[in-house]
Each structure stands twice: as structure tokens, then as C-alpha cells.
Amino acid sequence: MKKTLIATLFSGLLAAAPLLGAFDDAGKKSEQVAVDALKEISALPDKDVADLRAGMPEGEKRLEKELPADATADKKGTQDAIRRTREATDKLRLAKSTFFLVMDTDGVVIKSESDPDELVDKNVLTAFPDLKKALDSKDLVEAYGEMDQMRRVHKGNDMAWVTAIAVPGKDGKARDIFASGWSFRAYASYLQDQGKRVLEEQAKKSPDHKLPVVYVYVIKGGKAYGATETPDENADAIAKLDLASKVKSGSYRTHLDITGRPWGVAADPLKSFGDDAALAVAATVY
């Protein structure tokens, strides 16, 4: 009886071995796809962040001349001033920002460039208190946080990165604040689209023309922020890998099982967003 049980278990292991091997092979192939996709987009965040950091002070100088004398009383004029400022400032015109806005010194949004304007009359400084430093500085200040009106998804978490700089009045003191930035999930979606373009070209040259499934994540503070269509299960699995810690010494790659499918993961440091940030790509070709 005992020998029969052992023989049965051994036979089961032998039968499962090819399946495990195939799963591991698919995982390694998926891992390489993730590495290839990450290579194509890894330089973009630092450039995009640097462009906005350089563009905001330049834009503020132009906005200072464009804003109505009383921005709060002339919301349409304020919105037009924001648009003219952005379009006339090279680094802002090409910025990946999901919002540009002017708020008063209490943090209440006078007007943003977007229509419909979900940010108007909302208080930004309540959600991003560190931005109050802009009131006493001529320099650009930055903050991370969450604000419903800056979200780009209706479910799941989303974080925003916000830059702000004071617009001085004639007395030299801050009269308003100019701010811009982006939703992490919206930015992940942009990066995902860039990565997919390369994979689509590769798929055209492959025998089966099969396009891998690819998701891009911006990781910050232990959470993984992916594009709108990213399944929650995948984002949770990526977050649990603690990639920000793993990439401190350089790039990292692995493969794992997510809901029964082999996924390859590749990650790089995202230094522009701090030591607790990383850029990751997850892919599957199974």
C-alpha cells in the first residue's frame, strides 16, 4: 500500500515536470520581453521630470505678464493666460502634465486649463501642504499626494506629483501660485503606449505576429500605479515585490505566477522621484 502511494506520487511529479518546465520557459520569455520594453522607456521619466522642472520657472515669468490684474475675478482670462503661457514655453508645451492651474495664496484653484474644469474652486494646499513653501520662495517646490480631482482612474489608488511656483505681485510677494504635474496612473499609461509601439513592431516581424500583454507601473511609497486597464491583482503582485528596494543597486528582473499565468518583470530606479520609487514593466507571452 505504501509503495503504491509512493509510486503514484512519483508518477504525478514526473507528469507535472514538463508543465512546470514549460511554465518556467514562458516566464523567462516574458521576462525578456519586459526587459526589452523597459529599455525603450527607462530614460523617459527623468527627461520628462527635468523638462517640467525647467519649464515651470520659465513659464511663470511669462504667466506673470499674461495673468489678469485680478485673476480670481476673471477666470476666463486666467484660463486663457495659462493656455498662452504653456503654448509659448517649449518645455511646457511638450510636457506630459495632466493639469496646469493657477491657485490663490490660500490654495483655492482659480482656474485650470482643462474643460470641464474639475479642479476649479478646490483647495490644493489641503491635499499637498508642502506646496505652501512656494509662498515664501522664488524657487519651484514639489509634493506628492492624492486628490480626487487629479485622479485619472475611477477605481484603485492614484498618486499625483505636483510642482508649484509663486507668481509675484508688484510688491514682490506671492499674488498667486502656478502649478502643474501629473497623475502617476496617467503617466504610466503614456509610458505603456510608448513601450507597446516597439513591441508592435517586433510582433510584425515574428512568425506568429503575437503581441505580448504588457503593463507599466510607476512605483512610489510601496504602491504600484499602472494604467487604467491594469488588473488590481497584477498591481498588488508588483507592489509586493518591493522593487524600489531591489533596484537601489541597479536594474532588477524576475518572473512569477500571477493568477495562474507566467509574468516577467523588469525594473529600474526612478531617481527623479526619490529612493522609494521605481519604474517597472510586467509582460506575459504565455
pLDDT for residue 3: 57
User: Is the pLDDT assigned to residue 17 strictly greater than 80?
Assistant: no
Q: In the prediction, which pLDDT does 226 show? A: 95
Do residues 102 and 190 share a domain?
no
Domain region containing 98: 45-183
- pLDDT, one tens digit per residue, over 122-141 is 999 999 999 999 999 999 99
Last residue of a domain, one of 133, 159, 183: 183
Mean pLDDT of 197-207: 74
Q: How many domains does the chain have?
A: 2
Whether residues 160 and 190 fall in one domain? no
Query: Is the entire prediction scored with pTM above 0.85?
Result: yes
Q: Rounded CA gap, 238 and 30, in Å?
A: 15
Residue pLDDT, tens place only, 204-249: 777 766 788 999 999 999 999 999 889 999 999 999 999 999 999 9
Nearest alpha carbon to residue 228 among 279, 281, 155: 155
Q: 183, 213, 248 — which closes off a domain?
A: 183
What pLDDT sits at residue 156?
75
Cell of 214: 504588457
- When pLDDT is averaged across residues 253-270 and rounded to a whole number, the result is 95
Q: Are 110 and 176 in contact (CB under 8 A)?
A: yes
Q: Are residues 177 and 200 in the same domain?
A: no
Q: 262: which strand partners?
A: 257
Q: What is the pLDDT of residue 16?
A: 42
**CATH code at position 57:** 3.30.450.20
Q: Do 66 and 35 lie in a common domain?
A: no
